[in-house]
Structure 1
Amino acid sequence: MNKNKIKLFLVDDDAVFLKLLQIEFMEQANFDIETFATGELCLESLSHHPDVIILDYHLDGVDPDAINGIDTLDEIKAFDPEIPVIMLSSQDKIDVAINCMHHKATDYVVKSETAFLRLKKIISTTLETKKLERQLNWYMDRM
């Protein structure tokens, strides 16, 4: 894998939406993408060290007993609190977004025709912020 590529996990139980999202990101050429239909499959692959995870809020379409997006988010943050997780949902409700943020999601995006553009911008901003934080920490360690 090219070291300059962003390791991106896409987690959604809607196979069609997941494929569309994968195609959109693949066209950007700077992503190494892994897709998962359940939170459990995503959690099993965290050792692949994703740079960013895009996670659906509801994940019970494939398996009604599957863990939901919030529980998956909690498990991801327990594994590594530094992994940025962007929650994605068809729920256009402020209380759902606030709940995601309380569980330490990086951001919340409603599934819509502009979702991909918002996701791309959030990923770019998030990774740039992480890079600046690393540089600042490096600088402060040498003072």
Structure 2
Amino acid sequence: MLRFLESIQRQHSIQLPRYLIVGGLATASHYCMFLLLINFVAPLPASLAGAVAGTLISYQGNKRWTFAQGAQAPWHGQMLRFCLTAFAYNLGNALMMLLLLDRWPQSPLLVQMFSTASLTLVSYWINRTWTFKHETF
């Protein structure tokens, strides 16, 4: 049992930092796409294009680096699970922001940081145990 727990801890000590790096790169690509397009299209389409770019980078980075440990799962089911997780993350972020900003309107950046940190850990667990389940174990 102890070896099993050590194995799980070792996996998390490798996968969580990788997940955070991939997430940082995906977020940076989202913002870069947004900044490139904002002069040519309205803010919402620019943001949506950035979200698509970030989602694709996040999916590929997590599939190929963070959670890759063996045979690859069929991409279509895995990509759908990833998109559902990303959608839930963004919906959760919006709801958490609405709720927390109602209580602490003077600290939107702090609220966003708390929301991001909380949801990132939840999305890591979901992606590890559901989205990329074939590559994890």
TM-score normalised over the length of structure 1: 0.36
Bigger share in helix: 2
Bigger share in strand: 1
Ranked by relative contact order (alpha carbons within 8 Å, sequence separation 6 or more), the top structure is 2
